[in-house]
Amino acid sequence: MTQPRKRVAVLISGRGSNMMSLVEAARAPDYPAEIVCVISNRPEAPGLAWAAAQGIATVAIDHKAYATRVAFEAKLHTAILDARGELVCMAGFLRMLTGGFIDRWRDRLVNIHPSLLPSFPGLDTHARALDEGVKIVGCTVHLVRLEMDTGPIIAQAAVPVLPEDTPETLGSRVLKAEHRLYPHALKLFASGQARVVGETIQILQSVNQDTALFSPSF
C-alpha cells in the first residue's frame, strides 16, 4: 500500500528560492511530500505571490503586529494546524523561534543553513569562511533545536572555494547547492529513509558516494 504523502508547511521571509525548489520537487508524483501551505512573517515577501500563483495556500502573519514572540508563534502554530501540516520546513525564515514552538514541532521542524555545520553557525557565513581561508564550504539541512543552527543533520552538500571568490559569488554557488540539497533531504526524511535516533539521523539505506571532493583539485 502506498504511503500518503507528508503534508509540509514552508516558512519564508523573502523570495523563498528554497521554497520554490521544494515546490518544484514535490510536483513529481512519487515524491513523498506535498507543499500544502507557505507562511511568511512579512506580508510583502515575494515568495507569497509566487506560491499563490502555483495554487498553494499562503498565509501572511506580520510579526510586527504581535506584542510578543509567543503570541506570534501561537498564530503561526494555528496556521500550520489549519493547513493540516505534518512537517515544517524553514526556507529563509528570518525569525528566531522560542523553545516552546520548537518543542511543539520537535523532530518535525527542518531548516537549511548555508555552511557545513557545525562550522560557521549564525550569520555572514560566506565572509567568515573566506576570512578563515577554508577551501571547502557547503550547506546543511538539519532538524531544529533551541540552540541556533544545531540539531540532527539530515544531509549536507560541499562546495569548493575558488581563489577569486567574494562572499557574493561564494554565496551564489552555495545557494545552487541548497536548491538541490533541500528537496533531497526532505525526500529522505518524509519517506522515512532518514530517521531520528537520539540526536543523530540514521540513514536506512546507503545513499552516499565514496568519491572525495578536493579543493584545490589536482
Do the bridges between strand 136-143 and strand 109-113 make them parallel or antiparallel, or are there none, so unpaired? antiparallel
At 45, list the grid cell: 515577501
Would residue 63 show up in a list of annotated catalytic residues for this protein? no
- At residue 48, the 3 state secondary structure works out as helix
Grid cell listed for 80: 500550520
| Number of CB atoms found within 10 A of residue 191's CB | 16
| DSSP helix/strand/coil, 39 | strand
d(CA 75, CA 68): 11
Three cell numbers written together for 58: 499562503
DSSP 93-119: ---PPPHHHHHHTTTTEEEEESS-TTS
Inter-residue contact 213 to 160 (CB < 8 Å):
yes
CA dihedral 101, 74, 43, 35 (to 10 degrees): 60
Among residues 113, 126, 142, 179, the one annotated as catalytic is: 113
Cα separation, 185 vs 156, in Å, equals 8
Question: Looking at the annotation, which residues are catalytic?
Answer: 113
